[in-house]
């Protein structure tokens, strides 16, 4: 359908997110990107769409069921929004299939071949039949679909085969059965390589299709097609009714198994008969049904993208994380942080010092308490292990484990239980809010008194994603920030009334107000004839109040530079509205995740890092932190990072007033600056400069250096 004319102020939120996913997909379509990295980007787009349908489309379906017909902020009703999404995502699915075809053509030229069953050599066919007998046929189990019996419960996002069988003698109605392609079965079935092949494989569903008669001896099979469903995951516990939050979250996890189907994907070719049967049984509308030319569940190709047997040019060149120049493995981190604040830029600089800080705190006899927020962690988190050791060592350990972190609920429940068993005090988030702030507070007794050591971050306490996500860590023992952090924990773990912070700003208590005041101050300075500048980097820009404040600032003449990775509901470069606002978005080998905010303030810049994007959910329904970077060296480093992004000529896309984007246009001679590469080269140069300085610094021995007799 054609889109209604939207209000002039805002870009449609859902369509803006889909434009972000298109930017990721464009990396998969870019021949200048290494081949297996293109495949990785394609897998990411598929994973992104899975979550988009589970959450965003799921919430719109609920609104539709509730009879909501009013238009939203962007001028569309839920029904109109779903139609717009369907049209855009069908086009995206076609582009995904096209991208995979091109990638696989290039892989074949390099000897990596996904084969169809009719392409197999006799030796490969024999090997496949043997593999089926030993590993697949004994595991896969068909389930008959009885016409008058309840329809079976199908697992969200799992691959199935729908088998249509000829009617029984004397009957007219076809029979159906499903074969689950279980998680224990390999999606890529390896084959012995033939001439010109380095790695040959077939997909699991193709093996099942080729061997389907094995499951239905003596029956005539009319059709066998793969399919996959996506269920609504936009469910949350009613905290006002839940006496036990853990039990409530477990009920939500269980309810997701039976929730409404919001998308049906069927592998092509499929007959109208099979499509009608599946769509009718699952109660899926035509625009929610996708007949896919590409294999289903493209995110499974992430495993293939990590194959190490290809040519080096198929992968990005390695960028091993570097240590911060001030880091010394022979000096404990408390001494290092006491000497100077440290700003770490991940993944260019390693996350290891953050992990080491908590591990040292667990063993240090001077540490009295560790207080930490855990939102998303890794499956074998060394940080959680350190917190458990700290509790077992008798330290006071208080951990806020956010059980409502979507899709990480089960893992966080397990971590919470393990920490409790170790003796830690565990708080299951805050009623009615998600605790999304990134903060660790370590209280240490030293000869001159109590010192509070702090880690603030823009990303999660996850050492695995810290190798993939662009984030900032700030390590400090600033006394004012320490007092603020202590008050912050008291506020959200007990009954302490919110206190005025010395330096921090927190949501939902006043973070939006603080940001509005900073924007208004810059606007007023511009009206008084001073230079005014706002630079902000975030994942999403949605909040109407902040967008309108930026429009006011632009009309006053404030120069505004925004780097928004994902959703951007602001319309940039509109005459009379936002002509002084420039928005870019960068998609590259690392996921841009840091939130950085800069306000010129008459030449005395105020610079912040934050856990919060500029979205209503972050500012109204989450506990977030805005952290000032007052240390001059750290502040200069943050500003330099910000400026580097806006110099990007290779991966930066300009966002247009309609929410779409212009592709990058790097100089043809290859001389253009690529921000992520420049940032990595900078940390390498800084570390090398520090090494040279240490090598050429002469430190005389003094009597105090001699060992005691």
Beta-strand (E) ranges in 418-527? Answer: 425-427, 434-435, 439-446, 449-457, 469-476, 505-507
Going by the DSSP 8-state scheme, the letter that residue 656 receives in this structure is P
Say what the pTM is: 0.92
* 473 strand-pairing partners: 344, 457
* pLDDT number for residue 414: 83
Q: Flag whether 5 is in a domain.
A: no
Instruction: Give ∠ CA 53-54-59 in degrees, rounded to 5.
Output: 90
Residue 703 has pLDDT above 70, yes or no: no
* pLDDT number for residue 248: 47
Which range (195-204, 266-275, 486-495) has the least confidence?
486-495
**Dist. CA 551–CA 568, nearest whole Å:** 14
**Dist. CA 674–CA 653, nearest whole Å:** 12
Domain boundary among 466, 481, 502: 502
Residues forming the active site: 436
Q: Flag whether 398 is in a domain.
A: yes
Whether residues 575 and 621 share a domain: the answer is yes
* pLDDT number for residue 702: 56
Tell me the residue range of the domain where 601 lies.
507-664+673-680
* pLDDT number for residue 694: 78
Residue 681 has pLDDT above 80, yes or no: yes
Q: Flag whether 532 is in a domain.
A: yes
What is each CA distance from 325 to 167, 353, 462, 473, 688, in whole angstroms?
A: 74, 12, 22, 15, 8
Domain boundary among 502, 522, 547: 502
Number of domains composing the chain: 3
Greater confidence (387 vs 4) lies with 387
* 289 strand-pairing partners: 264
Whether residues 207 and 91 share a domain: the answer is yes
Q: Flag whether 319 is in a domain.
A: no
Owner of token pair 């990396």? 27
Burial of 525 (0-12, 13-18, 19+ CB in 10 A): buried
Confidence class for position 257, pLDDT limits 50, 70, 90: low
Whether residues 388 and 527 share a domain: the answer is no
**Mean pLDDT across 636-656:** 97
Whether residues 109 and 202 share a domain: the answer is yes
* 597 strand-pairing partners: 536, 608
The CATH code of the domain that includes 158 is: 3.30.1840.10
Whether residues 462 and 512 share a domain: the answer is no
Whether residues 364 and 460 share a domain: the answer is yes
Residue 242 has pLDDT above 50, yes or no: no
* pLDDT number for residue 1: 45
**Mean pLDDT across 254-283:** 88
Q: Flag whether 709 is in a domain.
A: no
Owner of token pair 């007219």? 172
pLDDT per position as a tens digit, 110-127: 999 999 988 999 999 999
pLDDT per position as a tens digit, 525-547: 999 999 999 999 999 999 999 99
Whether residues 211 and 67 share a domain: the answer is yes
Whether residues 420 and 512 share a domain: the answer is no
Whether residues 363 and 413 share a domain: the answer is yes
Domain boundary among 469, 502, 535: 502
Q: Flag whether 649 is in a domain.
A: yes
Q: Flag whether 2 is in a domain.
A: no
Q: Flag whether 552 is in a domain.
A: yes
Whether residues 129 and 274 share a domain: the answer is yes
Cβ atoms within 10 A of the Cβ of 417, count?
13
Confidence class for position 57, pLDDT limits 50, 70, 90: very high
The CATH code of the domain that includes 424 is: 3.30.870.10
Residue 400 has pLDDT above 60, yes or no: yes
Whether residues 474 and 521 share a domain: the answer is no
Whether residues 287 and 338 share a domain: the answer is no
């Amino acid at each position: 359908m054609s889109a209604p004319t939207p209000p002039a102020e805002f870009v449609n939120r859902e369509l803006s997110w889909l434009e972000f996913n298109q930017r990721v997909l464009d990396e998969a379509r870019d021949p200048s990107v290494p081949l297996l990295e293109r495949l990785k980007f394609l897998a990411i787009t598929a994973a992104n769409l899975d979550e988009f349908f589970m959450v965003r489309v799921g919430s719109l379906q609920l609104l539709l069921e509730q009879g909501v017909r009013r238009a939203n902020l962007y001028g569309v009703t839920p029904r109109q929004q779903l139609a717009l999404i369907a049209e855009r995502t069908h086009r995206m699915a076609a582009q995904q299939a096209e991208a995979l075809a091109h990638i696989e053509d290039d892989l074949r030229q390099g000897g990596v071949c996904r084969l169809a069953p009719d392409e197999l050599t006799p030796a490969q066919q024999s090997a496949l039949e043997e593999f089926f007998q030993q590993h697949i046929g004994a595991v896969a189990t068909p389930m008959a679909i009885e016409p008058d019996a309840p329809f079976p419960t199908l697992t969200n996002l799992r691959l199935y085969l729908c088998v249509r069988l000829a009617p029984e003698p004397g009957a007219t109605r076809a029979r159906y059965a499903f074969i689950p392609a279980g998680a224990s079965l390999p999606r890529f079935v390896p084959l012995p390589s033939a001439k010109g092949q380095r790695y040959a494989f077939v997909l699991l569903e193709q093996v099942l299709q080729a061997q389907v008669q094995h499951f239905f001896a003596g029956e005539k099979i009319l059709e066998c097609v793969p399919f996959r469903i996506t269920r609504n995951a936009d469910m949350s516990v009613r905290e006002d009714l839940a006496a036990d939050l853990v039990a409530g979250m477990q009920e939500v996890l269980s309810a997701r198994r039976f929730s409404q189907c919001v998308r049906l994907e069927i592998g092509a070719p499929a007959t109208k008969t099979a499509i009608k049967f599946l769509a009718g049984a699952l109660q899926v509308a035509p625009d929610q049904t996708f007949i896919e030319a590409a294999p289903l569940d493209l995110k499974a190709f992430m495993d293939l993208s990590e194959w190490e047997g290809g040519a080096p040019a198929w992968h990005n060149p390695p960028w091993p994380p570097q240590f911060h120049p001030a880091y010394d493995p022979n000096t404990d981190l408390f001494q290092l942080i006491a000497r100077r604040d440290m700003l770490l830029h991940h993944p260019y600089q390693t996350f290891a010092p953050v992990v080491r800080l908590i591990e040292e705190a667990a063993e240090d006899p001077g540490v009295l308490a560790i207080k930490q927020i855990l939102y998303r962690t890794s499956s074998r988190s060394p940080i959680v292990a350190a917190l458990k050791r700290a509790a077992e060592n008798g330290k006071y350990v208080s951990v806020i484990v956010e059980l409502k972190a979507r899709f990480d609920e089960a893992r966080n429940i397990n971590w919470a239980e393990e920490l409790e068993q170790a003796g830690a005090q565990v708080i299951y988030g805050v009623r009615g809010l998600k605790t999304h702030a990134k903060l660790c507070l370590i209280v240490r007794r030293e000869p001159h008194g109590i010192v509070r050591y702090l880690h603030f971050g823009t990303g999660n306490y996850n050492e695995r994603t810290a190798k993939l996500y662009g984030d900032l860590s700030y390590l400090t023992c600033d006394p004012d920030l320490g007092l603020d952090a202590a008050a912050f924990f008291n506020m959200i773990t007990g009954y302490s009334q919110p206190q005025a912070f010395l330096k921090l700003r927190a949501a939902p208590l006043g973070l939006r107000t603080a940001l509005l005041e900073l924007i208004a101050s810059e606007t007023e300075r511009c009206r008084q004839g001073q230079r005014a500048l706002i630079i902000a980097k975030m994942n999403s820009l949605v909040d109407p109040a902040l967008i309108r404040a930026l429009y006011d600032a632009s009309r006053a003449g404030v120069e505004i530079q925004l780097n928004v990775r994902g959703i951007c509901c602001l319309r940039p470069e509109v005459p009379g509205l936002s002509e002084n606002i420039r928005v870019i978005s960068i998609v590259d080998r690392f996921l841009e995740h840091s939130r950085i905010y800069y306000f010129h303030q008459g030449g005395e810049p105020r610079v912040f890092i934050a856990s919060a994007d500029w979205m209503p959910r972050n500012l109204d329904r989450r506990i977030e932190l805005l952290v000032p970077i007052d240390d001059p060296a750290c502040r200069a480093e943050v500003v330099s990072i910000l400026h580097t992004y806006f110099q990007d000529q290779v991966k930066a896309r300009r966002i247009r007033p309609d929410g779409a984007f212009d592709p990058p246009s790097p100089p043809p001679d290859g001389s253009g600056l690529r921000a992520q590469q420049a940032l990595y080269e900078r940390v390498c140069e800084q570390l090398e400069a520090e090494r040279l300085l240490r090598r050429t610094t002469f430190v005389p021995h003094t009597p105090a250096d001699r060992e005691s007799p």
